[in-house]
Amino acid sequence: MAVRVLFVCMGNICRSPMAEGMFRKAVREAGLESRVETDSAGTHAYHVGSPPDPRAQQAIRQRGEDISDLRGRKVADADFERFDYILVMDGDNYERLIERAPSRHHGKIRRLLSFSRKWPNLDVMDPYYGGPQGFEENLDMIEDAVRGLLREIASDSGANAR
């Protein structure tokens, strides 16, 4: 049975697709593709159907991953049932999902950086209105956190993550 992970930000064109991409890469490198499923979504419907921001695509491409296949979507009520981990980028989106989700699913909703060793429980700030450096800083934080997430998933499933 696969572990299902959903990454969530506001518009689903910057932070959450970058997190999905970095996590896909980590899962692939660990040889866990058959045990882990991933997706991303936004709390708002601003960019439904849109590809990730070109700056996000460029920044992650430089780290060896392509996210051009992803398209923005809004979190659906069914996501609370479907996913084992619902990982948000910041406190605002955390609060939005906690308010929306049935209480039995609150334990699934966590900040992505709760898995980070370098930036525990901080927000991954939205780089949308800034320059390329914001995307790089986001990816540094995301990369550290997805490694921690993968360690937890691998230890829970008895797999050996790198």
- What digits encode the pLDDT tens for the residues 116-130? 999 997 999 999 999
- Find out if CATH 3.40.50.2300 is the number for domain 3-157: yes
User: Is residue 112 classed as helix, strand or coil in its secondary structure?
Assistant: helix
List the end-to-end C-alpha distance of the chain, in Å, as a whole number.
21
Q: Measure the CA–CA gap between 38 and 99, rounded to whole angstroms.
A: 23
14 is catalytic: no
What does each C-alpha distance from 32 to 73, 96, 109 come to in angstroms? 25, 31, 22
Q: Measure the CA–CA gap between 117 and 53, rounded to whole angstroms.
A: 27
9 is catalytic: yes
Residue 157 has pLDDT above 80, yes or no: no
H or E segment at 61? helix 54-61
> 12: which residues sit within 8 A by CB, 6+ positions away?
40, 41, 42, 47, 48, 72, 73, 74
15 is catalytic: yes
Residues 39, 79, 90, 126: which is the catalytic one?
Answer: 126
Residues 15, 24, 111, 147: which is the catalytic one?
Answer: 15
| The pLDDT value given to residue 156 | 81
Reported as a pLDDT band with limits 50, 70 and 90, residue 43 is very high
